[in-house]
Amino acid sequence: MLVVTGADGFIGRAVVPLLLRAGHDVRGLVRAMSGDTVARREYMAVGDLAQWPDAAMRGAMRDARAVVHLAGLAHRAAASPAALRAVNVDVTARLARAAAAQGVAHFIFASSVKVNGETSVPGHPFRESDAPNPLDAYGASKWAAERALGEVAESTGMRATILRLPLTYGPGAKANIAALARALRRGIPLPLAAIENRRSVLGVGNLASALLALVASEGDAQRATTYFVADANAVSTPALVEAMARAMRVRARLFALPTSALRIAGAWSGRSEIVERLLDTLEVDTAEFRARFAWSPPYSLDEGMAQAFGPAAPL
- Catalytically annotated residues: 138
Alpha carbon 204 to its chain centroid, in Å, reads 8
Q: How far apart are CA 173 and CA 62, in angstroms?
A: 31
Q: Which of 202, 165, 166, 200 is nearest to 283 (CA)?
A: 200
Q: Which of 203, 227, 211 is nearest to 300 (CA)?
A: 203
Side chain identity, residue 253: R
- Percent of the chain as helix, strand, coil, to the nearest 5: 45, 15, 40
Neighbours of 48 (CB within 10 A): 11
Cα-based angle 238, 304, 128 (whole degrees, multiple of 5) = 80
Q: How far apart are CA 19 and CA 208, in angstroms?
A: 8
The answer to whether 147 touches 212, Cβ cutoff 8 Å, is no
- Three-state SS string across 160-210, please? EEEEEECEEECCCCCHHHHHHHHHHHCCCCECCCCCCCCECEEEHHHHHHH
